[in-house]
Each structure stands twice: as structure tokens, then as C-alpha cells.
């Protein structure tokens, strides 16, 4: 048993914290909102999940120092736009030889960095290992103990193997990979493609269109990943096509939901204002657009999503433009 700090009590962070506790570890969960912490301490319930009841062994705090002190493993589980600020505050409390596990999917705006790169920049001078844990994994299903698979990726193979052993359980199987860049790009870009899939659902298109979005979407993800130095085969794995499939097809997918509502004619600001949880694909669409422009990578679906979200492009017109581009080989 080791002490594990989960920084963030959103849906995925809470599901992971619950799983790690059931794996026999000492879990303390950090949340900046004192009212939410008090409610979870008293009720042992998560505000979003009726299926999730926290064990009395799980602790909650708003104090970063007490959350991190003595922990051998930290799980970063806040939205992508909060990762740098959180780690910069937490770094003074992080001890040597700690493993930092990033479970946040997304790319930082402006810098266009993956989350592991952001964490690496903010922990310079610290002797830590950084692992990203991604894969097709809706929190709603993990808390219900539905069999799930993930990938722990790191440039340090020993660290990813430790994470594999700590997180694996009867219902969660963890694989390892050394291509952390490919893992994170796949897990982030798929949220943009999921918005496209949702738009098609909202318009009322069918299975043919969904299949095209998934297949051509994985081609876009792979092209950008390879251009940035990732391995092509990573995108054929769990964090690529696996995560893409589940995010584009599931009722649990926030990003697919955003797209579906846009396809029905609603505006993005209205949709986001009503959501309790973050749809990372909205911000990631801007970063992906900037990356494909910078590296001259053809990503027509991702660019179409960007223009719908940020330039108020009509979704049906975007579909027409995608279908009527110059013909080419697959």
C-alpha cells in the first residue's frame, strides 16, 4: 500500500481515486472548493455520480501541502487549462522519486504542449517521473466496475510499469507504452473528431457518416502525430482508435454531446454554459488547428470543427465542403 494524491475531484479523477482505494491504497483527494470537499466528506457521495459512494477511508482536503506530503504517486486530474497553474503551486510540496500520473486529456492553448510537457516544464529540478494514463474509459462505466483498458505511457519504462501494477485490478487492465507523445496526441485530438461525430448525429446523419468520420479522423490524428514525432502504430492502439471509437459513439461523451447540440442548431456558448463538466475538445480544436497550420498537415475534419466552433460556420455547409473537396486516393 502507498499513499496516493488525486488532484482534482471531477468525474474521471473521482473514478480513479475510488478505484485506487479499492486496490488497497491510501487515497487523499484534493479539491480547491471547500464546500464541495465538505459535502463529499459528510455525504461520501460525488455530486455527478449516483453510482459512486466513497469509502470512509478516502480523505478529502483543500490544502495542497497536506494532500501531497508523503505521497509516492500524484494523479493530475484537473482540466487542461488548469494543469500548469496547479502544478506550479504543488511543486514545492512534491518530494523526490515521486511518480506524477497525468490523466488530463488536451493541449495547452498558445504553447500547444501536451499535458506531460506542461508538467515537465513546471517540475524542472525535481527528481520525478511523469506518466500519462489514457484510453477508452468513461468514468461512468469505471465506477460501475465495467471492464476497461488503459495505457500507461512514459519515456521511463520502469515508471510506466509501476503505474501499470498500481492501477490494474480485476476490472481495469493497464498496458504500457514508451510513446507518450503519440498517446497524448491521440487522446486529445479524438475529442475534436468526437465533436464532428456529434454534429453529424445532431443533423440526423447515419452510420455511413459516422464510419467515415471515425476512419478519416484516425487518419488525421495519425498524420499530425507522425509529423510531430510520434509513432504511427500508437494511433492504432487503445489511446488512438480505441479512445476515438468510444468518444464518438457513446452517450457518456461530453464532446460528442457538444457536437450533437450544435448539429441541432444550438450555439456553442449556450451549450457550454449549461454543462457541469468540461468538454476538452472545444479548447483542443483551437490548438489542433494551430498545430496543423504550423506543420502544414492536412486535417480537414478538425479544421471544419474549428471553423464551426470559432468562426460560426454553418455545420451543413461544412459537411458539403468536406464532401466536395478534390478527389484523391485513400
DSSP three-state, residue 6: strand
Is there a contact between 194 and 256 (Cβ–Cβ < 8 Å)? Answer: yes
Residues contacting 50, CB < 8 A, separation 6+: none
73 has which bridge partners?
A: 4, 99
- State the Cα–Cα distance between residues 167 and 20, nearest whole angstrom: 6
What is the C-alpha separation between 69 and 9, in angstroms, rounded? 18
CA 65 to chain centroid: 26
At CB < 8 A and 24+ separation, what contacts does 61-64 make? 61/28, 61/29, 61/30, 61/31, 61/37, 62/30, 62/31, 62/32, 62/33, 62/34, 62/37, 63/30, 64/7, 64/30, 64/89, 64/90, 64/93
Q: What is the dihedral of CA 193, 196, 200, 206, to 10 degrees?
A: -10
As a whole number of angstroms, the distance between CA 57 and CA 22 comes to 10
Q: In this structure, are residues 200 and 210 in contact, taking their beta carbons and an 8 Å threshold?
A: yes
- Residue 123 carries which DSSP code? T
Answer for the pair 26, 69: CB distance below 8 angstroms, yes or no. no
Q: Is residue 190 annotated as a catalytic residue, yes or no?
A: yes
Of 59, 105, 162, 190, catalytic: 190
Active site residues: 190
Amino acid at each position: 500500500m502507498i499513499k496516493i494524491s488525486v488532484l482534482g475531484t471531477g468525474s474521471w479523477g473521482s473514478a480513479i481515486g475510488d478505484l485506487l482505494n479499492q486496490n488497497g491504497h491510501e487515497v487523499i483527494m484534493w479539491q480547491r472548493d471547500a464546500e464541495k470537499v465538505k459535502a463529499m466528506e459528510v455525504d461520501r457521495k460525488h455530486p455527478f455520480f449516483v453510482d459512486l459512494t466513497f469509502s470512509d477511508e478516502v480523505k478529502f482536503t483543500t490544502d495542497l501541502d497536506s494532500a501531497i506530503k508523503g505521497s509516492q504517486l500524484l494523479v493530475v486530474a484537473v482540466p487542461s487549462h488548469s494543469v500548469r497553474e496547479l502544478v506550479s503551486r504543488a511543486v514545492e510540496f512534491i518530494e523526490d522519486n515521486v511518480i506524477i500520473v497525468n490523466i488530463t486529456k488536451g493541449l495547452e492553448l498558445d504553447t500547444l504542449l501536451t499535458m506531460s510537457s506542461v508538467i515537465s516544464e513546471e517540475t524542472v529540478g525535481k527528481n520525478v517521473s511523469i506518466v500519462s494514463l489514457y484510453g477508452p474509459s468513461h468514468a461512468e462505466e469505471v465506477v460501475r466496475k465495467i471492464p476497461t483498458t488503459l495505457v500507461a505511457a512514459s519515456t521511463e519504462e520502469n515508471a510506466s510499469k509501476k503505474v501499470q501494477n498500481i492501477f490494474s485490478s480485476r476490472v481495469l487492465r493497464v498496458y504500457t507504452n514508451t510513446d507518450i507523445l503519440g498517446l497524448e496526441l491521440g487522446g486529445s485530438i479524438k475529442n475534436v473528431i468526437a465533436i464532428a461525430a456529434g454534429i453529424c448525429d445532431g443533423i440526423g446523419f447515419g452510420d455511413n457518416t459516422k464510419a467515415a468520420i471515425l476512419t478519416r479522423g484516425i487518419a488525421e490524428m495519425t498524420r499530425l502525430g507522425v509529423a510531430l514525432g510520434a509513432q504511427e502504430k500508437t494511433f492504432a492502439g487503445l489511446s488512438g482508435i480505441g479512445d476515438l471509437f468510444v468518444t464518438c459513439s457513446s452517450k457518456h461523451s461530453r464532446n460528442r454531446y457538444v457536437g450533437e447540440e450544435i448539429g441541432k442548431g444550438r450555439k456553442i456558448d449556450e451549450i457550454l454554459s449549461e454543462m457541469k463538466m468540461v468538454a476538452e475538445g472545444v479548447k483542443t480544436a483551437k490548438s489542433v488547428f494551430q498545430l496543423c497550420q504550423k506543420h502544414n498537415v492536412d486535417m480537414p475534419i478538425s479544421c471544419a470543427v474549428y471553423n464551426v466552433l470559432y468562426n460560426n460556420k454553418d455545420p451543413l455547409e461544412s459537411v458539403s465542403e468536406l464532401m466536395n473537396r478534390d478527389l484523391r486516393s485513400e
